[in-house]
Structure 1
Amino acid sequence: MRPLFFAVLAALAAAPAAQAQTSPARLDMETIMANPEWIGTAVESPYWSIDGRSLYYSLKREGSKVRDLYRVDVASGQASKLDPAAVAQADGRAVFDRSHRKAAFVAHGDVFLVDVGTGRRTQITRTPEAESSPRFSADGASLQFRQGNQWFVHDIASGITAPAAVLQLADDPQAKPSSALSDEQLRLFSTLRKLKSDKDAQRANDEALAAADPSRAPKTLWLGDVGQLVDTELSPDGRWMLVVTQPKDRKAGKAPEVTHFVTESGYSEQQSTRVYVGRNDPAPQSLMLVDLAGRKSYPLKTDALPGIKDDPLKDIRARTIASLEKDGQADQAKALKAPDLRAVRIISDADDGGGGGIVWSDDGQNVAVQLRAIDNKDRWIATVDFGNHQLVTQHRLTDKAWINWNFNDFGFLHDNRTLWYMSEESGWSHLYVKPAGGKARALTEGKFETSHPVLSEDGQWFYVRTNQAAPYSYDVYRVPANGGQLTRVTQFQGMDDFVLSPDGKQLGVLHSSPYVLPQLAVQDASGGASRDLTNTMKSAFTARQWIAPQMVPVASSHGAGTIWAKYYGPADAGAAASRPAVIFVHGAGYLQNVTLGWSNYFREQMFHNLLVQKGYVVLDMDYRASEGYGRDWRTAIYRQMGHPELEDLLDGKAWLVKNHGVDPKRVGIYGGSYGGFMTLMALLRAPGEFAAGSALRPVTDWTTYNHEYTSNILNDPQLDPEAYAASSPIEYADKLQDALIIQHGLIDDNVLASDSIRLYQRFIELHKKNFWMSLYPMERHGFVHPDSWFDEYRRIDELFDTYVKGVGR
């Protein structure tokens, strides 16, 4: 999960922007902030057809949020939009059995089975509920799928579908425990003894008949009053099920509300949002192993996980408790006492960027579980000893700062015994394999990031995405699954996603460049030339002459190494001298914007072209905490958000002054979300360094942001108030002296508008000057309405012209 960022328009990808034709038309704000349909449409969500001859993909329909499905014939390159009748006959994203004779997919929430040889399709479900996660059993005789947390098994030969198990998280109502009183009753009354004997006999007979008759539905398995069901995972052989639970009496905590003032009803309406950080930690989770054949369940304890009894926050905890006790707040101090056993969660797709929380081997004989400490300092991968009903730790990743929300993929090789996983233990995300009972071995190594691991169908290769060539350049590479050389497969430089064909011989790749939206190409999986299959750009955009951003290295004056940035300036480098400058700060914190692919911030990139046209130069930096530069870069902000990043931004300003003759008194700064937060930190912690700034939807006080993002970096505010005080702009409000405009969507349910309003009130009380606020009643965190975009950037443009460029001062 990564909340603090603009919605990504599409995956990164690549194609050279230098081919754009020159246009005499000058840029204007109305054009660049208009509905982005004038640019073109990004290709989204590609996947292969079952026969491997076609690729499907989605395109946004013009004038609508609806996505239409397209199919392109790989051999001819002929593409077509599918009408509703054709969509009904289209393949879904398929899974295959080991022999590749059968395939299955989910369409409109229902499961379909396909005979690969004949193409014959069988619909398995037709329900109002949504089915998901289809996969074939270990022996290929059945198809498993889930409906919520209920698993079903479809026997292919008979065509019968039945629940894999019927679980109840409660005590068996017919298995009342013996007590002294009930024993006394049975001793005294023969009628009660006879009734009990009859009931026991009937139950035993029912169980015997059920055990001997596979045509019956499974009987309810009572797991006891163990909490609330979170997840279930069925083994491919149907023998076992892992069950994740959490306390059922957990209170969600109070959620703040946002007010919608402009509504269809004409009345103001309230909307609940998310709980503040530290006001209610995530619920601890527990794991249970269920033997479906033996109808027994076993708790899988976490007390043997290495480091589970340690307190990684010991020193911080001691200081805070001592301070509270000194201030006479004994109850608050007592509440911060470390637990004897740290609570854990099972990492899942819902709360983590990579990999599921439970992965079975293909044969169902092994299972791996990924657990994360709720304090975010440890991640464990453990297997299950079925005989002794216990977890066996295979890997521990620990971090004094926090475990990354990316790079947590894991699974088994096709030998069903060897574990593979991603880890940042070297300081960079890399791929490892670990044989059962053996030593882990790195498949990739070096000062670059590896992600998106895909194991080929034959089990011989891992395909990965890396920036090995340069921090800002991404391509597909592959490495033998048993170890060997990492080799480059694609040559796009800007790409985000890829899909292997069913036979593993071809790659479908999404690629782009700074001024080309994500497009789909195909090439051999072993390398070679690629062939584009789509071109969804519009001539109104491509005919313009856009400024190719220069990838420039800015030396850190604080020992951090190289800060990579995108520089926008006039074609004549000498003409940049004495120009005013603007520094743009990307959002999300952990996001990489200095790449050779299409940017999340395509509007801002056009705005930077407009600024250059008006006489500015622009620098867009991947400051510390940005993605793509390793663990140390990511965690540099631990307990001090806004401090290392500001050092980097000031180094960027110094680079502009030294290398392009920029006037140090005429530099502005702006950004949204985390970029808005950093704009505030720049103006409030380095007054006088920037002539003006615009903070869009900024966090002003981290104690009012959400738990998932904030507690990773700053811990809980009750435990670590020092980190929050050091990292929150509102604590530096008295330092404001430069021109500032704050802009915020009133119905933002990510960073609440109250953040900006509270800071605004502080400025009022401090009698500050030259600060303004612009509120947008119909915008959330990522603006969607062109009128709002235009108004927002018109104000930024006027701010910079007045206070940076000097026009009208």
Structure 2
Amino acid sequence: MTLRSFGLALLLSVASPVVLPATLPAAFAQQKSTITLEDIWQKGTFQTRSVPGFNWMKDGRYYSALDKGDLVQHDVTTGQAVQTLVAATDLKLPGQNQLLPVDGYRFNADETKVLFSTDTEPIYRRSSKSYFFVYDRGTKQLTPLSKTAGKQLYATFSPDGKHIAFVRDNNVFVTDLGTMRETAVTTDGATNRIINGGTDWVYEEEFSFAQGFQWSPDSRQLAYYTFDESQVPEYNMQEWGPLYPQDYRYKYPKAGEKNSVVGISTYEVGTAKTTRMDVGAETNQYIPRILWTQTPNLLSIQRLNRLQNKLEILHADATTGKTRVVLTDTDPAYVDVTDDLRYLEGGKEFLFTSEKDGYRHLYLYAMNGKLVRQLTKGNWEITNIDGFDEKKGLVYFTSTEASPLQRHLYRVDVKGKGKVRLSEAGPGTNAVNMSSDTRYFLNYHSQAGEPQVVSLRSGQDGKLVKVLEDNAALRQKLTNFTFSKLEFINFKTASGVALNASVLKPANFDPSKKYPVLMYVYGGPGSQTVKDDQGGGIAFTNYLWHQLLAQHGYIVVSVDNRGTGARGAAFKKSTYANLGKLETIDQGESAAYLATLPYVDKSRIGIWGWSFGGYMTALAMTKNADIFKMGISVAPVTNWRYYDTVYTERFLKTPQENPQGYDDNSPVQHADKLKGKLLLVHGTGDDNVHFQNSVAFVEAMVKANKDFQTLYYPNRNHGISGGNTRLHLYRQMTDYVLKNL
């Protein structure tokens, strides 16, 4: 489910520039403004600035960005505009005076042509469709990619810049840019039946990609996915608004049900020959990744069994379709799919990450799958591969080596030697956007309670070249508000499990008083809410809302239970086949630990969460009914039988194989245990965690004669947003906390 450490016994705190020093006079403190819901969700008072629209160019010294309709080249070392690559006034179709309202772009390899998108329309989490136009920088000619009616998806230049491949109406097309002749690669695409060149819903959501085709490095071939989803059951959502609500039907494979049958084919542009790759006789499996190698005509295919505990890398002859398995990665629980596979120039070796020694580390293999060496090792894990310097044989990666609560950039050579940290010393979290030549990287650094700093740094030694955004204005603005310091603690539960937590106390905290506690939980496999960073998106707005609650006298605590990430495979996979059991025990025992603290009112402990956190809240309020006084469950799974195959079966097996794993920790099965106040929130248009989940939980609570409150948002998806929606939602949630905790 994608919305989607620890070991320290000492209390850790992160200094924040927004915390009032104790030496300031009370009169000054009283002048501080309080945070309002409107500040967070309406006025954008605390909006963090970043470096928007940044796109590295082929020369790592420059980047491009849209500026008032112009496409402008900037020097990365100064941030100054160097030249206008495409003027907005040039983006007119022949015979028309109206400028093209561009919302995205991409260059071909030599940057002589630009593919512009307009009128982009989102579909699901990662998919969208647009009208695309090709602009020739030499002739200044703007041409529609297609003359056929209908928007296109995933339009992509071939590496040699002579063709563009795209998807329309579930079929793959290739346009010759010399003649603008459009050729249909496939013709059998049909809604809710056959998808070519894209992915079905569950692949997009759980394997994190939507474009289902790739050009070969020599531009001669196109490898593409075909999904036969004709046997996948349909889910029906009603769209409310007109006199008669409309039905929206799409293929959604729930746990234990049939998946799409997935095939991989190659299309040779010169001959129009299509060849099906041999992915094995078994159709009840996944193909979560394909990747062209550096060897001509050799395609890499990753094959994953239905239970997701065996991942194989296949090498396919793109001309004949013949394949052979070169590497197999297995796990007693499950194997995570990543984008860490990298083939090296020369066609002799590849890099891959695995958790086979208990932590995710980097390995070098020969092309036949024979292990050459393990490049990294230790009780920490790699979280991202950020770049590779082919000439020097250097791999750049982000890891948890300094602390599971932090992320830092490191570099190591392909001999496993010379590992060096490139992030500056000190706490916090770094996210990296590196140029393809690794000459420079953008570093997004933040700490809990501090706005991010975006800087340009040298890929050679990590040294600062230029600060691109320090959010100085926001830092100054924050000094005018009452903010509390976020502290990090580590404690042992009654079961002897060491857990990490974050604690937010009221700014005027008095240890001699008793305070109510609201626990915030997500808790899903591999996730983290306890991190030393500012957070982004809903994580940051939730942090601000927690600050607002602290102003009202609440202590807000978040605990990363067993099953969460950054602490190795054993900790993460301890919840396998019994999702919800250990997590609920940990949250309950964490609340019991908090209740022993002298400044906590043990009769006023509440919990809230969204998505997997909504599931955890519903479970905590029923299985731990004597501990929690109040809960807010937003968009929860309440029965894992209702959720999708890929995510659910990865952690629970199928319901046919493990029925108890599904039923023993379903909130629906424990509705009769509810004692505290519960608010249940859901969007009726949630394509991810269906409204059906809340309907089933409500039915169970009504049957058990339990009191509760519900709040539903018509046509809103899993994020429950749009217009005033978030402001409205959090106003209801705030009122519920104030009245019931």
State the TM-score bracket (shorter-chain normalisation). 0.7 to 0.9
Would the aligned equivalents of 2:195 and 2:226 in 1 still touch at CA under 8 Å?
yes
Indicate the residue corresponding to 1:762 in structure 2. 700
1:663-703 deviation line (CA, Å, top 9, x unaligned): 32221111122111111111111121112111122222222
Structure 2 residue identity aligned to 1:546: F
After alignment, is 643-652 or 752-761 more displaced?
Answer: 752-761
Q: Which has the higher helix share?
A: 1
Residue 640 in 1 paired to residue 571 in 2? no
Q: Does 1:384 align with 2:316?
A: yes
How far off is 1:47 after superposition?
A: 2.0
Q: Decide which of 34, 38, 47 is 1:31's aligned counterpart.
A: 38
Alignment of 1:194-205 (within 5 A): none
Contact 2:238 2:247 in 1 (8 A): yes
Deviation of 1:285 after TM superposition, in Å, equals 2.4
Deviation for aligned residue 1:150: 4.9
Distance 1:79 1:620 in 2: 44
2:55 counterpart residue number: 47
Q: What CA distance in whole angstroms lies between the structure 1 residues aligned with 2:467 and 2:399? A: 21
Asked if the contact 1:277–1:711 (Cα under 8 Å) also holds between the matched residues in 2, the reply is no
The CA deviation at 1:277 is 1.0
Q: CA deviation at 1:369?
A: 1.5
Pick aligned residue for 1:76 from 78, 81, 84:
78
Q: Pick which of 495-504 and 563-572 moved more.
A: 495-504
Q: Which residue of 1 aligns with 2:258?
A: 281
Query: Are 1:446 and 2:378 counterparts?
Result: yes
Q: 1:261-314 CA distances to partner (integer Å, 9 max, x unpaired)?
A: xx3x465444336535136422232445678889977665445xxxxxxxxxxx
The aligned amino acid for 1:554 is: F
| Distance in 1 between residues matched to 2:232 and 2:653, nearest whole Å | 19
Tell me, what secondary structure is at the counterpart of 2:603?
A: coil
1:797–1:417 distance in 2 versus 1, CA, 3 Å: same
Task: From the superposition, tell whether residues 662 and 800 of structure 1 become closer, same or farther in structure 2 (CA, over 3 Å).
Answer: same
Measure, in 1, the Cα distance between the counterparts of 2:486 and 2:534. 12
Distance 1:803-1:58 versus aligned 2 partners, 3 A rule: farther
Q: Distance in 2 between matches of 1:120 and 1:477?
A: 44
CA contact (8 A) 1:736 1:768 kept: yes
The question of whether the paired residues in 2 share the 8 Å contact of 1:106 and 1:131 is answered with no
Match of 2:300?
A: 368
Supply the AA of the counterpart residue of 1:585: V
Looking at both structures, which has the greater relative contact order when contacts are Cα pairs under 8 Å and sequence separation is at least 6? 1
Q: Distance in 2 between the 1:702 and 1:398 partners?
A: 24
- Which one-letter code corresponds to 2:594 in the other structure? L
Distance of aligned partners of 1:245 and 1:572 in 2 relative to their CA distance in 1, 3 Å threshold: closer
Q: Is contact 1:456–1:462 with CA below 8 Å preserved after alignment?
A: yes
CA distance in 2, matches of 1:749, 1:563: 33
Q: Which has the higher strand share?
A: 2
1:398 to 308, 330, 335: 330
Matched, 1:593 2:529: yes
Assess if the C-alpha contact under 8 Å between 1:475 and 1:493 holds in 2.
no
Instruction: State the SS of the aligned residue for 1:649.
Output: helix
Matching residue of 1:569: 505
Distance 1:471 1:708 in 2: 27
Amino acid at match of 2:528: Q
- Evaluate the alpha carbon distance shift between residue 122 and residue 552 of structure 1 in structure 2; reply closer, same or farther with a 3 A threshold: farther
> Which amino acid is the alignment partner of residue 534 of structure 1?
E
Q: Residues 274 and 608 from structure 1, CA distance in 2 versus in 1: closer, same or farther, beyond 3 angstroms? A: farther
Q: Is the 8 A contact 1:259 1:271 kept in 2?
A: yes
Query: For the residues of structure 2 that align with 1:773 and 1:241, how far apart are their CA atoms?
Result: 50
Q: 1:656 aligns with which of 594, 597, 603?
A: 594
Residues 134 and 692 of structure 1: CA distance in aligned 2, closer, same or farther (over 3 Å): same
- Paired position in structure 2 for 1:328: none
Match among 579, 582, 585 for residue 515 of structure 2: 579
Q: How does 1:78-97 map to 2 (within 5 A)?
A: 78=80, 84-85=88-89, 96=109
C-alpha separation in 2, matches of 1:122 and 1:487? 48
Which residue number corresponds to residue 492 of structure 2?
555
Match of 1:735 in 2: 673
C-alpha distance in 1 between matches for 2:222 and 2:532: 45
Q: CA deviation at 1:238?
A: 5.5
1:598 Cα deviation after fit: 2.4
Aligned partners of 1:594 and 1:91: how far apart in 2?
A: 34
Unaligned runs of 5+ in 1: 6-14, 62-66, 171-226, 304-339, 348-356, 805-809
| Structure 2 gap ranges (5+) | 5-13, 21-28, 92-99, 118-131, 198-211
For 1:18, the equivalent position in structure 2 comes to 17
TM-score by length of 2: 0.78
Offset of 1:84 from its aligned partner? Answer: 3.8
Do the aligned residues in 1 keep the contact of 2:239 with 2:715 (CA within 8 Å)? no
The Cα shift of 1:620 comes to 1.0
1:147 is aligned, of 140, 145, 166, to 166
From 541, 547, 568, the counterpart of 1:603: 541
Q: CA RMSD in A?
A: 4.1
Deviation at 1:420, TM superposition (A): 1.4
Query: 2:216 aligns to what?
Result: 235
Shift of the alpha carbon at 1:52? Answer: 3.8
Which deviates more from structure 2 when the two are superposed, residues 664-673 or residues 602-611?
A: 602-611
Equivalent pair of 2:389/2:395 in contact (CA under 8 Å): no
Secondary structure in 2 aligned to 1:636?
helix
The 8 Å contact of residues 496 and 510 in structure 1, kept in 2 or not, is answered as yes
> Is the partner of 2:488 in helix, strand or coil?
strand
Residues 754 and 772 of structure 1: is their aligned pair in 2 closer, same or farther, counting only changes over 3 Å? same
Identify the match of residue 474 of structure 1 among 394, 403, 407. Answer: 407
Farther-moved stretch of structure 1 (25-34 vs 644-653): 25-34
* 8 Å contact from structure 2 (residues 523, 583) kept in 1: no
- Summarize the alignment of residues 467-546 of structure 1 with structure 2, pairs less than 5 Å apart: 467-491=400-424, 493-495=427-429, 497-501=431-435, 503-516=437-450, 518-526=452-460, 527-529=462-464, 531-535=466-470, 538=474, 540-541=477-478, 543-546=480-483
Q: Distance in 2 between matches of 1:655 and 1:70?
A: 56
Question: Given the superposition, is the C-alpha separation of residues 503 and 775 from structure 1 closer, same or farther in structure 2, using an over 3 Å criterion?
Answer: closer
Paired residues for 1:401-416 under 5 Å: 401-405=333-337, 407-416=338-347
C-alpha separation in 1, matches of 2:183 and 2:396: 34
Say if 2:77 and 2:466, in contact at 8 Å, map to a contact too. no
Q: Is the 8 A contact 2:386 2:432 kept in 1?
A: no
- Paired with 1:748 and 1:365, the residues of 2 have a C-alpha distance of 42
1:247 Cα deviation from its structure 2 partner: 4.5
Paired residues of 1:110 and 1:131 also in contact (CA < 8 A): no
Going from structure 1 to structure 2, the CA distance change for 1:386 and 1:799 (only over 3 Å counts) comes to closer
How far apart are 1:766 and its partner, in Å?
Answer: 1.6
Would the aligned equivalents of 1:576 and 1:662 in 2 still touch at CA under 8 Å? no
Which residue pairs with 1:184 in the alignment?
Answer: none
Q: Residue 471 of structure 1: SS of its match in structure 2?
A: coil
2:159 is matched with which residue? 136
Contact 2:483 2:507 in 1 (8 A): no
* SS of residue in 2 equivalent to 1:136: coil
Q: Secondary structure at the match of 2:469?
A: coil
> Following the alignment from structure 1 to structure 2, what is the Cα–Cα distance between the partners of residues 427 and 584?
28
* Cα distance, 1:743 vs structure 2: 2.1
Q: Say if 1:509 and 1:520, in contact at 8 Å, map to a contact too.
A: yes
Secondary structure in 2 matching 1:473: coil
Structure 1 residues 98-145: Cα deviation after superposition (integer angstroms, max 9, x where no partner): xxx77776433456688xxxx9999898445566343535xxxx7554
Distance 1:429 1:559 in 2: 25
> Is contact 1:750–1:781 with CA below 8 Å preserved after alignment?
yes
Provide the C-alpha distance between the structure 2 equivalents of 1:529 and 1:120, rounded to a whole number of angstroms: 40
Residues in 2 aligned to 1:680 and 1:434: alpha-carbon distance in whole angstroms: 46
Distance 2:632 2:340 in 1: 38
1:230-309 matched pairs, under 5 angstroms: 230=197, 233-237=214-218, 242=223, 244-247=225-228, 250-260=230-240, 263=241, 265=242, 268-272=245-249, 275=252, 277-278=254-255, 280-287=257-264, 300-303=277-280
Percent identity between matched residues is 21
Aligned mates of 1:544, 1:592 — CA distance in 2: 27
- Counterpart of 1:663 in 2: which secondary structure? strand
1:431 corresponds to which residue? 362
2:719 matched residue in structure 1: 782
Question: What does residue range 79-228 of structure 1 map to in structure 2 within 5 Å?
Answer: 84-85=88-89, 96=109, 106-108=115-117, 109-110=132-133, 126-127=145-146, 129=152, 132-136=155-159, 143=162, 145-148=164-167, 150=172
Over 3 Å counting, the alpha-carbon distance change for 1:240 and 1:774 in structure 2 is: closer
Quote the residue 1:205 is aligned against.
none
Instruction: Supply the AA of the counterpart residue of 2:681.
Output: Q
Stretches (4+) displaced over 6 A: 20-23, 67-71, 79-83, 86-91, 101-104, 119-125, 160-165, 167-170, 289-298
Alpha-carbon distance in 2 for matches of 1:163, 1:293: 14
Residue number among 640, 644, 648 corresponding to 1:706 in the alignment = 644
